[in-house]
Every structure is written in structure tokens, then in C-alpha cells.
Amino acid sequence: MDRNNRVRKVNRPKYLSSSKKENVKHITLKQESLYKPLLVTFAIFLFAMIIIFPTSIFDTMIPVQMQFLRRLVGWMSLSATATLLILPVSVFDIELIRIFSSADLYSNWYVVFVVLFAVFSDTLFAFVGYRFTKTLRKLFAGKAKKADIQKSNANLQKYGNLGMFFFACTPLPFTLAIYTAGAVRLKRRWFLIAVASGRFVKYAVIAFLLRVFGINLISLGETLFQSIFG
């Protein structure tokens, strides 16, 4: 009789526990686990919409503005690739040089706008790399040369954001410097100022030289290619 009246303890699964603390923890874990998949799904959907459906009702209503908007999206994509990926040559620099050297297609004011937008875009993605250094470095910097990593670490630890400025305005490995700056936690405000000012100096000097001397590197490259390969 005593055995029948005894309250038996029921072993419930942990996720069915009535503890308020455990319930909150369980919900939080669910929210965190869904965040990245939803973000990736949205990015893939947005990319598919741009690629698969290149035209829309807005192209009929405001064709010039939509063409310009897609051009901005393309520039930002090149900027993100050049800033966050370790590449031997910056794909964004190639596009900018094409614009700067084509004086017959683009006015000086257009070049000024492109320079300012490139500075903004590079600074934005540099902040992304700085903010999420731990994750992005594992994804994109895993195959970087050990000598380049040691060089960026030594220079940034010695010179701080002044070193970051030189990485931003010279052919030095800019992407590695961003991840190193995030790892050593350089002051964010001065980091952004160093990146923006360095990129402005770089792009402004390139644009100025190409415009003043009238060099069309695209035509020069095509001529050189034809002379070598026939």
C-alpha cells in the first residue's frame, strides 16, 4: 500500500523541465541556432533575385536609376571580395583603374564620386572584418602565408593604427591587416579613420595620375596582349 501511495519520480527529458531558467536557456539556444541559417538563406535568395531576375517593373519606371543602383551593388560586391578575401590582385582595383583611365567615357565628377564610394565601401567591409575577425579569419585567411601574417602582426603591434593607414594606402596585404587589427583590438574609431584615409589617398592618387597623364591601361593591356600573343 505504501509503495502504491509513494509518489514516483518521473524522469523527464531535459528540454521538458519546468525550470524557468532552463526554459529560457533552451529558447535562447534555438534562436541562436536559427540565426545563421536564416541569414545565409536570405543572402542566397537576394543573390538569386539579382542574378535570375535582372529586370523588374522598376526597370520600366526608372531605368536609369535601376541601372545605377545595380552598378553600385556590383561595386560593393567587388569591394567585399577584395577586402575580405586574400587575393593576389584586388578585383576592385581592376574595375576602378578601368574607370579612372577611360576619360572618354567617364567625367571627372563621376570619378570623384567613384573614389568616395569606393572609400565608403572598403571602410564598411573593413569594419565587418574587424568586428567578426575570429570567424572570418578561419574562413578566408586559413591559407595565408605565414610570413605575411607575421609581418602584419609585427607592424600593427608596433605602429598601431598608423601602420593600418599604410596597409590601406599601399600594396601591402590589406586583408590580413584587417584581421590582425581585429585580433589585437585596435581602437575602433581610429581604425576606421586609418582605413578611410588610407583608401582615399590610394584611390585619389591612382585617379589623379591616370587622368593627368591620360593613360588608358585597358587599351594598353589589349595592345600588349595582341603584340605578344598575336
Residue-wise pLDDT tens digits, 118-136: 999 999 999 988 888 777 7
With beta carbons less than 8 A apart as the criterion, state whether 133 and 149 touch.
no
The Cα 82–Cα 199 span in angstroms is 13
pLDDT, averaged across the chain: 75
Q: Residue 28 — pLDDT band, cuts 50, 70, 90?
A: very low
Query: Which cell goes with 107?
Result: 567625367
Q: Which residue has the higher pLDDT, 214 or 160?
A: 160
Task: Record the pTM.
Answer: 0.68
Q: Give the per-residue pLDDT at 228.
A: 63
Rounded to 10°, the helix 108-131/188-213 angle is 150
Residue 153 CB contacts under 8 Å (≥ 6 apart), including other chains:
180, 184
With beta carbons less than 8 A apart as the criterion, state whether 172 and 154 touch.
no
The Cα 66–Cα 83 span in angstroms is 25
Computed over its alpha carbons, how large is the radius of gyration of the chain? 26
With beta carbons less than 8 A apart as the criterion, state whether 208 and 108 touch.
no
Q: Which residue has the higher pLDDT, 227 or 98?
A: 98
The Cα 96–Cα 114 span in angstroms is 8
Residue 142 phi/psi, 5-degree rounding, is: -65, -30
Q: Give the per-residue pLDDT at 14.
A: 47
Q: Which residue has the higher pLDDT, 46 or 91?
A: 91
